[in-house]
Amino acid sequence: MARSSVHVSYATVPMVIVMTVLCLFLANNVTHARMPASYYVGGVYGWDPIIPMDTWARGKIFYAGDILEFKYDYQTSNVMVVNRTGYETCIANEGAKEYTSGDDRISLPYGLSYYIGTYDASDCSAGLKMAIRAIS
């Protein structure tokens, strides 16, 4: 009987493993891809101290690329992206990003915690602020 032998180069084994892992990773990402969602912050009330914004955000899962749309009266309010201290104290930190159009759209990057408030300390203290995190 003829005997067959298979010659496997040990140099190709790591390449096969890498290609297998890469294919599994890509297949997983393709099956979980989704279009970015848009959210009107505060729902029908908009960006308004009528409802605490942390209550509005609670239970929602935000993903990287999702868009938060803030609607408000630009003459009496604004939206500010602040750091954690600014969020907790209702005092805008140096480098805080201010939005003032009355119809602002903020796209969420992956992995960052977003602390959003307003320049009016009384509105901020009343709940016109929220902390969210975008996941992949």
Whether 56 has a pLDDT exceeding 60, the answer reads yes
Q: Any idea what DSSP says for residue 44? A: G
Computed over every residue of the chain, the mean pLDDT equals: 83
Structure tokens at 30: 């393709």
Q: What is the pLDDT of residues 20-36, one digit of tens each?
A: 555 555 544 544 567 89
Euclidean distance between CA atoms 2 and 97, whole angstroms: 76
Q: Which fold has domain 38-135?
A: Immunoglobulin-like (2.60.40)
Sequence spans of domains, the chain: 38-135
CB 73 within 8 A of CB 102: yes
CA distance 120 to 78: 8
**Is the confidence at residue 60, as pLDDT, over 70?**
yes
